[in-house]
Amino acid sequence: AGWSRTPKSVAGVECFAGEEGLRPFLARTDILVVLLPLTPDTRGILDQKLFSTLARDGALGGPVVINAGRGGLQHEADLLTALDDGTLIGASLDVFGEEPLPAASPFWDHPKVMLTPHAAASSEASVLARTILKQIEAFERGEPLRNLVDRERAY
């Protein structure tokens, strides 16, 4: 299943959309993979309220959060509380509100946390260069550009 701000249709995937679709999506989700952009609407979205709505009847015996999106999505104090009180049974975190993660952060030694070095997506320079070159060529020909930031959506 997947959740998005706007309705999507993907063959073989149950899709949920918008504010009205978020809670039903979370209620059946025990492994939450978060790849959201950081916008005013998503800042702090990963909080105690959200964690408490995740499914608890999955194969792992409780919910897990994987955040490879943006550090500002997670309310880190709530995340630690949810891990400590059993609301979450684990978290895999690639991003944090402050990076690099301070040496004194409790995430470093937390037994229910797996840390990765903000490397969830690696980019190949030659692929990036080809993509940039195609954009420049399209611009010079007066053609529409691809993958533009929508300033209204903030991503």
* Residues involved in catalysis: 70, 118
The residue assigned the tokens 């009180």 is 85
Question: In this structure, how many other beta carbons lie within 10 angstroms of the beta carbon of residue 10?
Answer: 9
**Which tokens in the block code for residue 109?**
């030694």
**Which tokens in the block code for residue 125?**
């320079």
| Cβ–Cβ < 8 Å for 91, 113 | yes
Query: Considering just the CA atoms, what is the radius of gyration of the chain in Å?
Result: 18
Please tell me the distance from the alpha carbon of residue 114 to that of residue 35, in angstroms, as a whole number.
17
Q: How many residues are recorded in the chain?
A: 155
Q: What is the DSSP letter of 40?
A: T
Which of 114, 106, 119 lies closest to 89 in space, CA to CA? 114
Q: What are phi and psi of 57, to 5 degrees?
A: -110, 20
